[in-house]
């Protein structure tokens, strides 16, 4: 067990052959984690930990330096953070180690759920590459006045944000998936600009990442009929 998750259950996501000789492999309930990196001709290799989720989400925790605190980066954001000169080609530029060699993500099986999510996005809000996309949003704590990040990748996450936004008394301690209190620091401004847009890592809001209502973020039991008041959050 690791963090309350059965390490072996992650084996259901990929076959043994698909993960053979992949470095840094760890298995969680609905994800696997592997060592990844991106190479800049100027700065060298930036390494990190890539989590691949069964719903198609990809998250990278950067370990480029001992003091780097960048986590939950999209591959595109990690590519830019690494200083890669030819950015916006993260499928080719972000690599994993297979049998001691750097192999582009595009040449592995690790993108199969990401690609499947893109194909299954019919009828929902989609980015320019067809993948369901809702950018991260922030809600302000009524107690400490600090803004906290909400990921909106699934219907459940959209509902959590929807309810928090509607609650004028929402507090940091109400976050169900992160143990955050009012004593914890607010996200640094340099981190806040990364909102999960697939078009541009530091996008301030575009048709690729801002949704005004789809089957993932609309709820029939709510009179507002949309889970996100983006006009309220546009200033974030």
pLDDT at position 180 is 85
User: What value does the mean pLDDT of the chain take?
Assistant: 79
Q: State yes or no: pLDDT of 118 exceeds 70.
A: no
Percent of the chain at pLDDT above 70?
77
**pLDDT (tens digit per residue) in 34-80:** 999 999 888 899 999 999 988 888 899 999 888 888 888 888 888 88
Tell whether 157 and 107 lie within a shared domain. Answer: no
In a domain, 67, yes or no: yes
Model confidence band, residue 4 (pLDDT cutoffs 50, 70, 90)? very low
Full residue range of the structural domain in which residue 20 is found: 16-121
What count of residues does the chain have?
A: 236
* 76 domain-assigned: yes
Alpha helices in the chain (DSSP H): 75-81, 90-93, 112-119, 155-166, 189-192, 230-233
Last residue of some domain: 70, 93, 121? 121
pLDDT: which is higher, 140 or 4: 140
- Looking at the fold, whether 155 and 223 belong to one and the same domain comes out as yes
Separation in Å, CA 227 to CA 141, 149, 189, 209:
18, 15, 25, 15
Residue 132 has a pLDDT of 54
The count of structural domains within the chain is 2
The CATH number assigned to the domain holding 112 equals: 3.10.390
**Position 10 in a domain:** no
In a domain, 28, yes or no: yes
Q: Where are the beta strands (DSSP E) in the chain?
A: 26-27, 31-40, 44-53, 58-62, 94-98, 101-104, 137-140, 147-150
Q: What proportions of the chain, in percent to the nearest 5, are helix, strand and coil?
A: 20, 20, 55
My answer on whether 184 and 228 are in the same domain is: yes
What is the average pLDDT across 171-179? 83
Contacts of 107 (CB under 8 A, 6+ apart): none
Name the band, by pLDDT with cuts 50, 70 and 90, for residue 33: very high
Average pLDDT over residues 15-44: 90
């Amino acid at each position: 067990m690791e963090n309350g998750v059965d390490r072996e259950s992650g084996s259901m996501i990929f076959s043994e052959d698909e993960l053979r000789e992949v470095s840094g492999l760890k298995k969680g309930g609905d994800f696997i984690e592997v060592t990844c990196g991106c190479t800049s001709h100027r700065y060298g290799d930036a390494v990190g930990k890539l989590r691949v989720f069964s719903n198609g989400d990809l998250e990278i925790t950067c370990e480029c330096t001992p003091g780097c605190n960048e986590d939950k980066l999209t591959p595109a954001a990690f590519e830019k953070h690494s200083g890669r000169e030819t950015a916006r080609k993260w499928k080719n530029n972000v690599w994993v180690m297979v049998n001691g060699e750097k192999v582009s993500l595009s040449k592995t099986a690790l993108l199969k759920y990401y690609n499947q999510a893109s194909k299954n996005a019919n009828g929902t809000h989609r980015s320019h590459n067809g993948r369901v996309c809702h950018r991260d949003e922030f809600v302000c704590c009524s107690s400490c006045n600090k803004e906290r990040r909400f990921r909106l990748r699934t219907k459940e996450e959209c509902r959590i944000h929807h309810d928090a936004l509607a609650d004028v008394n929402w507090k940091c301690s109400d976050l169900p998936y992160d143990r955050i209190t009012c004593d914890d620091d607010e996200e640094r401004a340099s981190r806040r600009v990364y909102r999960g847009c697939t078009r541009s890592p530091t996008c301030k809001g575009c048709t690729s990442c801002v949704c005004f209502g789809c089957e993932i973020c609309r709820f029939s039991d709510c009179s507002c009929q949309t889970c996100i008041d983006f006009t309220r959050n546009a200033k974030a």
